[in-house]
Structure formats: structure tokens, C-alpha cells
């Protein structure tokens, strides 16, 4: 049995925490969960031991520590899924890695203008031109992935992959902020929302008592 502990932040707001959490849940990899409430007097003290620069999230595998969402996803795929976290087809794998890395490093306007918030829904928040461009870019990546490589299932590359975990918080943002979705992207977001783990995460986020003011609109 794996001896895994995933150190996460507030479920209502921590989109980076959601990514490895839902990936491991989807693949039924057992792990312990340690939740650290963010932006409190004890946050830095609790996170100091995980060598993550006082950030969530981190993964403990016995005595080994891994931090950063994408690094954790790669590690779990290698150690516990025989690298099945990425598509087996070379073209699909290259694209899955590319769009995952783009999610990791880009879409800063979407992140700042539409913070993840499981408690609330909005229908009056309009994106800036920069955020609108990013939203259209994300939709185009989803459509291209599905059209080229998604024939074998409902996920971006057919079978569930690291790319799906990386974009799960975006799906929640699109629904929460009433972003117009049609066709392929609408069907894809519906698949994300049907995951039992996503339902569990949203319910837990809504039950949290902490308020992170900088992530509230």
C-alpha cells in the first residue's frame, strides 16, 4: 500500500491543490489528506516542514517529498500508474504535455479575474480583453485535443490524463462565472462536473469556514 500524504490548501479556493487530488482520486490511488488553512497565523509554521517555499501543495511518499502540482502529477504517474498519466500515442502525449505546461505557466488573467470559488456563482463578471483571449485559447486547446485524440473516451485525450487534472479548476471557473460554453467544450466541462471526486471537493469547499478575501469577488 502506498504511504502517501497530500498536503493541500483550502478546497474552496486552492485550484493547485485540486489538480493532484482529483487525479489520484480518479485513479483510486489511496492517500492521506492534510489540509492547511491558508493565510492564517499558523500557515507558514505548518508548511515549513514540506520544503515547498511555504506554498501548497506537497506530496509525502514515505520520507520523500515532492512539491508543485505538475511535478506531483508526473511523480504519481511514474511511480503508481506505469506512466499512464500521459497518453500512450506519441502525438497525443506531446500535445498533452504541451497544454499541461501551458496551463502551468499561462492564463494569468483568467486566474486573477476569476479566482476559483466553490461557494459562489456569478453572472455579472465580464472578462477583460486579455482574459477573453485566454478563455478562447483554452477552448481551442480543448477542441483540438478532443478532435485529434479524444475518440477513445470523454476526456481530452480519450482516457483520463494529467491534462484533465490540470484543467479541472478551469472547468469549475467556467461554470462558476457563467462563461459561454458550446459544443465540445460544454460536453467536456459536463464530464468534469460528473466526477464523484469533483462533487466531493465542491461540497467540502462550500463547507469551509475560512474566507480568503483576496480571492473573493
User: Of 3.90.1300.10, 3.40.30.10, 3.40.50.300, 3.30.1490.100, which CATH number belongs to 4-83?
Assistant: 3.40.30.10
Note down pLDDT in tens along the chain; length 217 residues.
678 999 998 898 889 999 999 999 999 999 999 887 666 666 666 666 766 554 558 999 998 999 999 999 999 999 999 999 999 999 999 999 999 999 999 999 999 999 989 888 888 889 999 999 999 999 999 999 999 999 999 999 999 999 999 999 999 999 999 999 999 999 999 999 999 999 999 999 999 776 655 666 6
CB atoms within 10 A of CB 4: 21
CATH class of 90-200: mainly alpha
Of 147, 124, 170, 145, the closest CA to residue 16 belongs to: 170
Which pLDDT does position 155 carry in this prediction? 98
Q: Where are the domains of the chain?
A: 4-83, 90-200
Amino acid at each position: 500500500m502506498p504511504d502517501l500524504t497530500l498536503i493541500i490548501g483550502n478546497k474552496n479556493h486552492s485550484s493547485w491543490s485540486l489538480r493532484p487530488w482529483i487525479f489520484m482520486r480518479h485513479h483510486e490511488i489511496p492517500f492521506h489528506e492534510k489540509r492547511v488553512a491558508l493565510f492564517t497565523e499558523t500557515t507558514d509554521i505548518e508548511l515549513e516542514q514540506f520544503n515547498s517555499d511555504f506554498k501548497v501543495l506537497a506530496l509525502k511518499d514515505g520520507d520523500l517529498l515532492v512539491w508543485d502540482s505538475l511535478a506531483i502529477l508526473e511523480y504519481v504517474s511514474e511511480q503508481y500508474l506505469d506512466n499512464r498519466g500521459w497518453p500512450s500515442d506519441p502525438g497525443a502525449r506531446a500535445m498533452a504535455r504541451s497544454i499541461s505546461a501551458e496551463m502551468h505557466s499561462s492564463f494569468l488573467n483568467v486566474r486573477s479575474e476569476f479566482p476559483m470559488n466553490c461557494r459562489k456563482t456569478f453572472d455579472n463578471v465580464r472578462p477583460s480583453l486579455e482574459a477573453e483571449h485566454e478563455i478562447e485559447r483554452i477552448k481551442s486547446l480543448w477542441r483540438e485535443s478532443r478532435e485529434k485524440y479524444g475518440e477513445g473516451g470523454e476526456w481530452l485525450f480519450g482516457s483520463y490524463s494529467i491534462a484533465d487534472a490540470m484543467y479541472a479548476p478551469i472547468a469549475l471557473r467556467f461554470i462558476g462565472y457563467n462563461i459561454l460554453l458550446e459544443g465540445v467544450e460544454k460536453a467536456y466541462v459536463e464530464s468534469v462536473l460528473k466526477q464523484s471526486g469533483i462533487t466531493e471537493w465542491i461540497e467540502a469547499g462550500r463547507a469551509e469556514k475560512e474566507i480568503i478575501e483576496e480571492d473573493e469577488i
